[in-house]
Amino acid sequence: MSTYDEGHTVAGWTGTAIATVGSCVLGLGVCTTSVLVVAGGIVVLAVAVLVTWVLHLAGWGKPPGVRPVGEWRMGVRDRSARAGHPECVGCRLAGRGQRAVRVGGTAIAAEVVGAAPERV
């Protein structure tokens, strides 16, 4: 086993497999000069991004950074995904995790989405 957390997750492998198929379709479209096949390849690549994102939000991805060694296996589900991961762009796009809240022209980081900032 590697000494690093390389992020081998269900979300990562599923997205990579779909993206590989999309890249092959896109390459086939370029070789055959078919705009329709190129567009199909681009659609499959977009589906790969969306599937990976949805699986990450469902807990089959990994948070940013290195996980504990016990969670490196492929089938380990991330139970903290529902609340959102700090510094995770995918979680922020879904409205999870930390968010800056404007109060009087100053940005204040709220702990979790939905948490009200303290009134001063």
SS3 category, 11: helix
Asked if 6 and 74 count as a contact pair (C-beta separation under 8 A), the reply is no
d(CA 79, CA 41): 33
Average pLDDT of the residues of the chain: 80
Asked if 15 and 49 count as a contact pair (C-beta separation under 8 A), the reply is yes
Summarised one tens digit per residue, pLDDT across range 32-90 is 999 999 999 999 999 999 999 999 999 898 887 777 777 778 888 887 788 888 888 88
d(CA 20, CA 12): 12
- Judged against a pLDDT cut of 60, whether residue 100 lies above it is answered with no
pLDDT reported for residue 120: 47
- Judged against a pLDDT cut of 50, whether residue 98 lies above it is answered with yes
Of all residues in the chain, what percent carry a pLDDT higher than 70? 74
pLDDT reported for residue 3: 63
Closest alpha carbon to 11 in 49, 56, 45: 56
Residue type, 117: P
Q: How far is CA 14 from CA 31, 55, 74, 82, 120, in A?
A: 26, 9, 12, 20, 47
pLDDT reported for residue 68: 78
